[in-house]
A = this chain, B = another copy of it.
């Protein structure tokens, strides 16, 4: 089973990388950009074929390693 996970900063948390990209895009001549937020994206192949168990395991994985839940949200998509 394949899982796709997005980890993004919570609203209100400063995103220096996003700001840097906004600046770079401006200097490259892209004037139509309002905001840029950068996050992390993971694709995980799991041996588990039981969706409920896989979801629980992935929640655990996100909380323990992939996301800092104080400042980040995570979103799990199971394919």
Contact = CB atoms under 8 A, between A and B. Distances in A.
Contacts of A42: 18, 21, 36-39
A43 B36 contact: yes
Interface of A: 6-8, 18, 21, 24-25, 28, 30, 32-48, 54, 57, 60-61, 64-66
A21 to B, nearest CB: 7
Number of identical protomers: 2
A66 B46 CA distance: 28
A37 B7 CA distance: 14
B66 A21 contact: yes
A44 B39 contact: no
Contacts of A48: 32
